[in-house]
C-alpha cells in the first residue's frame, strides 16, 4: 500500500492539473454543452493509462424524445476497461456534466479553476470531476506499481446525471453496454461515511388554468394564480404526514421523506400586471426514503392534489410527472461492502459508517436495474450546485488512495 500511496502523493500536481483541465470544459446541463470535447479529453486520459476505450453516442432521436429542449446537443458516454482475465468485473461510474452557474464567485469565473489554500475552486470540482481525477490517479498508481487487481476494472464517465441520468449511466445499463458484477458510484459518500443507497425522487408539474381578463374587471376572469395559491396552501398538511414517517440507516441515523413545493413556478403567456392571469404552474419535489415505494408516493401526492383542487373549484388542474427515480439500498453487510470498509480504514485510520444519501445519484441504475452490490464514495467538497464550489486537495488524494487500495485488495 505504501508504494501506491507514495505514487499518488507524488502525482498530486498532475491530478490537480487534470482536474483543472476538466473544470475548464463547461459541460453545463441543461442543455448539455461541450460533451464531445470533455469525453475526448477523458478518453485520451484513459488510453494513456492503458485502458481499452469505447465512446458511445446516444442516437439523436432518443435525445429529442427524452429531452426535447436538448435536441441538437449530442450525448456521449465513455467506457474504459482494464481486463486482467478475471471472471468478474468491478465497475466505477462518474458523471461529467455540471449544473448551471449563478451568483458572484470569489474567483470571478467558475470555469477558470483556481487553487487556493488547499482547495480547487470551480464548477464541477466537487460534483463530480474531482472524483474522475481521483479515480484516474488511483489507476495510474496501480499501473505504475505493477499491481494487478483480482477483478477486471471497468470505468464509465457518463452524461446527464444532473437531469436524472437517463441518457448517461441509465442508457448504458438499459442498452447492455455494461454488465459488471460490482459497482462503485464515485459520489454519495466520502471521508468516514460510505454510501449504501440513496433516496428516490418524484418531480411533478402542476398547471392551473383559469380565465384571463382585464384587471379593471377581475370579476370577469378566473385568477389562475389565486387558484394555485389555494392549492399550494391546501397541500401543507401533507408535510406533517410525511414528517411522521422515518427510515433508520445502518449508521443509526433517521431519515424522513420530504416534499418541496414551488422549486420553480410561473405564469403562462400573456401575463401582465394589469391582467387576470389565465395560467399558472408550480413544481413539486417529493423525496422518497428507501422504506417507501415510488408508486405509493406518487399516488399519495396525486390524491393530495386532487383534494386540494377542491379549494379552488373554478380553475382547472393538470398534473404531470417528469421525473421518477426509485430509492435504492444495497446490503452494507456483504463481503463487498466489508472489504471496501477495510480499504477506507487502511487509508483513513477507521472504518466508515454506512449512510443513505438524501439526494439521488446514478447508483440506482446498478443496484436496482442490474441487481448489483453497490457503494457510493467520492471526495465530495463544498458548494456543490452553489456558489464557490470547491474540492479539498487533501480529500482528493485520500480518496484516490482508497480507490487504489480497494482495487488492490478486493477479492470476490
Q: Average model confidence (pLDDT) for the chain?
A: 97
- Please state the φ and ψ torsions of residue 378, each to the nearest 5 degrees: -160, 180
Nearest to 393 by CA among 1, 20, 110: 20
| pLDDT for residue 255 is more than 80 | yes
| pLDDT for residue 54 is more than 90 | yes
Average pLDDT over residues 133-145: 98
- Please state the φ and ψ torsions of residue 284, each to the nearest 5 degrees: -135, 130
Nearest to 97 by CA among 162, 178, 4: 162
| pLDDT for residue 33 is more than 90 | yes
Pairwise CA distance, residues 407 & 89, whole Å: 11
How sure is the predictor about 371, in pLDDT bands with cuts at 50, 70 and 90? very high
pLDDT for res 30: 95
Q: SS3 for 206?
A: strand
| pLDDT for residue 108 is more than 90 | no
Copy the grid coordinates of residue 332. 452494507
| pLDDT for residue 1 is more than 80 | no
Q: Do 42 and 97 meet the contact criterion of CB atoms below 8 Å apart?
A: no
Pairwise CA distance, residues 106 & 128, whole Å: 20
| pLDDT for residue 296 is more than 80 | yes
CA distance readout (Å), 295 to 258, 299, 328: 16, 6, 14
Bridge partners (DSSP) listed for residue 28: 98
Pairwise CA distance, residues 380 & 397, whole Å: 12
How sure is the predictor about 270, in pLDDT bands with cuts at 50, 70 and 90? confident
The string of pLDDT tens digits covering residues 200-247 is: 999 999 999 999 999 999 999 999 999 999 999 999 999 999 999 999
How sure is the predictor about 375, in pLDDT bands with cuts at 50, 70 and 90? very high
The string of pLDDT tens digits covering residues 346-365 is: 999 999 999 999 999 999 99
Beta strands in 11-65 (DSSP E): 52-57
Residues of the chain with pLDDT > 70: what percent? 100
pLDDT for res 155: 98
Pairwise CA distance, residues 111 & 198, whole Å: 29
Q: Does domain 200-325 have CATH number 3.30.70.360?
A: yes
Pairwise CA distance, residues 104 & 334, whole Å: 45
Burial profile 226-252: b = 16 or more Cβ within 10 angstroms, e = fewer: bbbbbbbebbeebeeebeeeebebbee
| pLDDT for residue 21 is more than 80 | yes
pLDDT for res 337: 98
Residues of the chain with pLDDT > 90: what percent? 98
How sure is the predictor about 329, in pLDDT bands with cuts at 50, 70 and 90? very high
Pairwise CA distance, residues 279 & 270, whole Å: 9
- The answer for residues whose C-beta is within 8 angstroms of residue 282's C-beta and 6 or more apart is 205, 206, 228, 232, 261, 262, 264, 265, 266
pLDDT for res 193: 95
| pLDDT for residue 401 is more than 80 | yes
Average pLDDT over residues 385-410: 98
Domain locations in the chain?
A: 2-198+327-409, 200-325
Q: Which residue is listed with cell 404526514?
A: 241
- Please state the φ and ψ torsions of residue 305, each to the nearest 5 degrees: -65, -40
How much is the pTM? 0.94
Bridge partners (DSSP) listed for residue 275: 214
What's the CATH class of domain 2-198+327-409?
alpha beta
Amino acid at each position: 500500500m505504501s508504494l501506491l500511496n507514495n505514487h499518488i502523493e507524488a502525482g498530486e500536481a498532475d491530478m490537480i492539473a487534470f482536474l483543472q483541465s476538466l473544470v475548464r470544459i463547461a459541460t453545463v446541463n441543461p442543455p448539455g454543452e461541450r460533451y464531445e470535447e470533455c469525453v475526448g479529453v477523458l478518453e485520451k486520459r484513459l488510453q494513456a493509462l492503458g485502458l481499452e476505450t469505447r465512446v458511445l453516442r446516444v442516437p439523436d432521436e432518443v435525445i429529442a424524445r427524452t429531452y426535447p429542449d436538448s435536441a441538437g446537443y449530442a450525448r456521449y458516454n465513455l467506457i474504459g476497461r482494464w481486463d486482467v482475465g478475471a471472471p468478474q468485473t468491478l465497475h466505477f461510474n462518474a458523471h461529467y456534466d455540471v449544473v448551471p452557474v449563478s451568483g458572484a464567485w470569489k474567483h470571478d469565473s467558475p470555469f477558470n479553476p483556481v487553487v487556493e489554500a488547499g482547495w480547487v475552486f470551480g464548477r464541477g470540482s466537487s460534483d463530480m470531476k474531482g472524483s474522475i481525477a481521483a479515480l484516474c490517479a488511483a489507476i495510474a498508481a496501480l499501473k505504475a506499481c505493477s499491481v494487478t487487481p483480482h477483478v477486471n476494472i471497468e470505468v464509465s464517465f457518463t452524461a446527464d446525471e444532473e437531469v436524472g441520468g437517463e441518457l448517461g449511466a441509465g442508457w448504458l445499463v438499459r442498452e447492455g453496454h455494461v454488465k459488471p458484477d460490482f459497482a462503485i458510484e464515485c459520489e454519495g459518500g466520502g471521508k468516514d461515511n460510505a454510501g449504501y443507497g440513496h433516496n428516490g425522487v418524484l418531480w411533478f408539474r402542476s398547471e392551473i388554468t383559469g380565465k384571463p381578463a382585464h384587471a379593471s374587471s377581475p370579476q370577469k376572469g378566473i385568477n389562475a394564480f389565486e387558484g394555485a395559491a389555494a392549492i399550494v396552501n391546501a397541500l401543507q398538511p401533507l408535510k406533517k404526514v410525511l414528517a411522521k414517517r422515518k427510515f433508520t440507516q445502518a449508521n443509526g441515523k433517521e431519515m424522513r421523506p420530504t416534499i418541496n413545493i414551488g422549486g420553480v413556478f410561473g405564469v403562462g403567456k400573456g401575463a401582465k400586471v394589469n391582467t387576470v392571469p389565465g395560467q399558472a404552474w408550480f413544481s413539486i419535489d417529493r423525496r422518497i426514503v428507501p422504506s417507501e415505494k415510488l408508486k405509493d408516493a406518487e399516488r399519495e401526492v396525486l390524491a393530495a392534489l386532487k383534494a386540494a383542487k377542491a379549494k379552488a373549484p373554478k380553475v382547472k388542474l393538470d398534473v404531470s410527472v417528469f421525473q421518477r427515480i426509485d430509492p435504492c439500498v444495497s446490503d452494507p453487510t456483504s463481503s463487498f461492502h466489508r472489504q471496501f470498509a477495510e480499504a477506507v480504514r487502511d487509508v483513513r485510520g477507521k472504518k466508515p459508517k454506512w449512510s443513505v444519501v438524501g439526494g439521488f445519484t446514478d447508483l440506482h441504475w446498478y443496484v436496482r436495474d442490474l441487481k448489483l452490490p453497490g457503494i457510493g464514495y467520492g471526495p465530495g467538497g463544498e458548494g456543490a450546485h452553489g456558489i464557490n464550489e470547491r474540492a479539498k486537495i487533501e480529500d482528493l488524494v485520500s480518496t484516490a488512495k482508497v480507490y487504489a487500495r480497494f482495487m488492490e485488495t478486493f477479492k470476490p
